[in-house]
Amino acid sequence: MSAPLAVDIWSDIACPWCYIGKRKFEEGVRRFGGDVAVIYHSYELSPETPVDFDGSELDFLTAYKGQPRNVMQQMLDRVTEVARDAGLTYDFDRLQHTNTVLAHQLLHLARAHGRQTEMAERLFRAYFTEGRHIGRIDSLAELAAEIGLDPDEVQRALTAGEYLPAVRADQEQAQAYGIQGVPFFVIDGRYGISGAQDPDVFASALGQVAAELDGAAETVR
């Protein structure tokens, strides 16, 4: 292909399967071997969550899902194992559950500077591994500075809600696509893959779409 294959990913920084899906997708891209251009899009799993949630991740899940604590703890343990298999370290005891709308705005700002993939990785690691707070503007400015973005610009843009319309547009597009859970991957605007699939699933889908595009290009010639 002459141009990178476009992949749009809807995810939420507070979604443990989205970070796992990111790793599996990246491995799928490696196995595919071609050029891929990724754009991350906003999806809020629990937009009603306060910035400073009073409790642990276990407390939140127990209330949010209405399930017994032991059942939710087993789920967290299982997710931690799956994350470990993907090369990630999750620490739910340190995790600070929070609202992610500002983090989504930061991802749009980072995209405007060509640093969105790096910003997504930094936010996921800060949230799931390091126990950093990703719901406050000052904390997000610090994380943005770590990947080379201007913290003053981040402070100004997030305070003004400059990228909030872009977040809402992503959410409206997710509704139009019928997306009801994340991660969700859209390849070339036509093929959707839901969930943190095996890397071979991603590699196969990318290869199939690339072959179709190459075939169409040959037909035009």
Q: Which CATH class is domain 5-220?
A: alpha beta
Residues in Cβ contact with 173 at an 8 Å cutoff, skipping those fewer than 6 apart:
41
Which sequence spans correspond to the domains of the chain?
5-220
pLDDT recorded at residue 1: 58
**End-to-end CA, the chain:** 14
**Nearest CA-CA partner of 38 in 185, 163, 167, 191:** 185
pLDDT recorded at residue 214: 85
Average pLDDT, the chain: 95
154 conformational bin, left if phi > 0, alpha if psi -120 to 50, beta if neither: alpha
* Whether 3 contacts 217, CB under 8 Å: no
- Cα R_g (the chain), whole angstroms: 18
Residue 221: pLDDT over 60: no
* Whether 101 contacts 167, CB under 8 Å: yes
Q: What is the mean pLDDT of residues 156-183?
A: 97
pLDDT recorded at residue 219: 53
pLDDT recorded at residue 119: 98
* Whether 143 contacts 134, CB under 8 Å: yes
pLDDT in tens, 1-23: 578 999 999 999 999 999 999 99
Helices 69-85 and 16-32 cross at an angle (nearest 10°) of 20
Pure H helices in the chain: 16-32, 57-65, 69-85, 101-112, 116-128, 137-146, 151-160, 164-177, 199-220
Helices 101-112 and 164-177 cross at an angle (nearest 10°) of 100
pLDDT in tens, 26-73: 999 999 999 999 999 999 999 999 999 999 999 999 998 899 999 999
Q: Which residues pair with 39 in a beta bridge?
A: 8
Residue 77: pLDDT over 80: yes
**Nearest CA-CA partner of 154 in 164, 167, 138, 141:** 141
Helices 151-160 and 137-146 cross at an angle (nearest 10°) of 140
Distance CA 173, CA 167 (A): 10
Using CB atoms within 10 A of its CB, is residue 155 exposed (0-12), middle (13-18) or buried (19+)? Answer: middle
Beta strands 36-42 and 191-194: pairing type?
A: unpaired
